[in-house]
Amino acid sequence: MTAQPLTIGVIQMSMTDSVAHNVAHAIELVRNAAGRGARLVLLPELFENLYWCQVQREAYFANAHPVEGHPFLPRFQNLARELGLVLPVSFFERSGQAHYNSLAMIAETGEILGVYRKSHIPDGPGYQEKYYFNPGDTGFRAFPTAVGTVGAAICWDQWYPETARAMVLQGAEVLLYPTAIGSEPEEAGAIDTSLLWRRAMIGHAVSNSCYLAAANRVGTERVDGHEQTYYGTSFIADYQGEVLAEADRITEAVVVATIDLDAARRFRAGMGFFRDRRPDLYAPLVTYDGRTKPR
């Protein structure tokens, strides 16, 4: 069966310290993308608030909520149902005594198809996520949806080729990465990672012959005396690594691109990347030191 062309929308937005404002603004931007034909729309990581992981404060654990009875996920479920689109939504999840950086994959029916919990958790100046988040326990996921099979991971996951490969092996035809990334503090070298960030993901698109999109926040945020500027540059790339649509470093944006999943599928088969894999030789990948498999 031939797939219809699919239009993807990527939201680049600035956040405030008001959850109500951020959620309402995100809904407005999703409507904008849908009005331009998007049937799959990606919002940034933890768009509900300022990126509080700049600092370690017990008070910010109050931002976490269970999926059941969540304060804003139902609004996005209703939005997906109304607009007939697939909507992955990032949120801070509480489950029992655990806390996760999570993503709910919402179908065009409004149903939550499942939850992915961020696997790779960073810990460094300005990005102190290990204080807040348990390592994800869902494994990497590819969600069959009405618009194709969608793989979704979260921010730091995007630097790991194993993440992308695992999702595509499960059938993902589009890879999505909601993100919160920007300036590095002086103690971390004050480097600008924007080009590295994009190159890493374009490499995943090429080596997996797969479409890929990343949504970042933009603007300067101040949290408890700490300041960080997020560099935007959200983008959509095709299966050969060409950037189809992109945002700049300083402004909010809704970027859209129309993709051809059938063309990508043919190209992927013809390139032979998956035909010529040698899983029998990859044992070092499931170790920390290249020799000893963790117990």
| Residue 277: pLDDT over 80 | yes
The pLDDT, as a whole number, for residue 187 is: 82
The per-residue pLDDT for range 200-245, each reduced to its tens digit, is 999 999 999 999 999 999 999 999 999 999 999 999 999 999 999 9
Predicted TM-score (pTM) above 0.85 = yes
| Residue 276 CB contacts under 8 Å (≥ 6 apart), including other chains | none
| Residue 1: pLDDT over 70 | no
The pLDDT, as a whole number, for residue 66 is: 98
The pLDDT, as a whole number, for residue 2 is: 66
The pLDDT, as a whole number, for residue 186 is: 80
Write out the two tokens for 49: 């608030």
Q: How confident is the model at residue 189 (pLDDT cuts 50, 70, 90)?
A: confident
Section 245-256 average pLDDT: 98
What is the Cα–Cα distance from 44 to 25, expressed in whole angstroms? 12
> How high does pLDDT run on average in the chain?
96
The per-residue pLDDT for range 87-122, each reduced to its tens digit, is 999 999 999 999 999 999 999 999 999 999 999 999
Catalogue the active-site residues: 45, 118, 155
The per-residue pLDDT for range 143-184, each reduced to its tens digit, is 999 999 999 999 999 999 999 999 999 999 999 999 999 988
Section 26-31 average pLDDT: 98
For residue 239, is it left (φ>0), alpha (ψ between -120 and 50) or beta? alpha
Give whole-number Cα distances, 17 to 36, 37, 63, 185, 223, in Å: 29, 31, 11, 21, 9
C-beta neighbour count of 294 within 10 angstroms: 7
- Phi then psi for residue 64, to 5 deg, are -85, 145
If one compares 293 and 188, the residue with the highest pLDDT of the two is: 293
| Residue 294: pLDDT over 70 | yes
| Residue 3: pLDDT over 80 | no
The pLDDT, as a whole number, for residue 184 is: 81
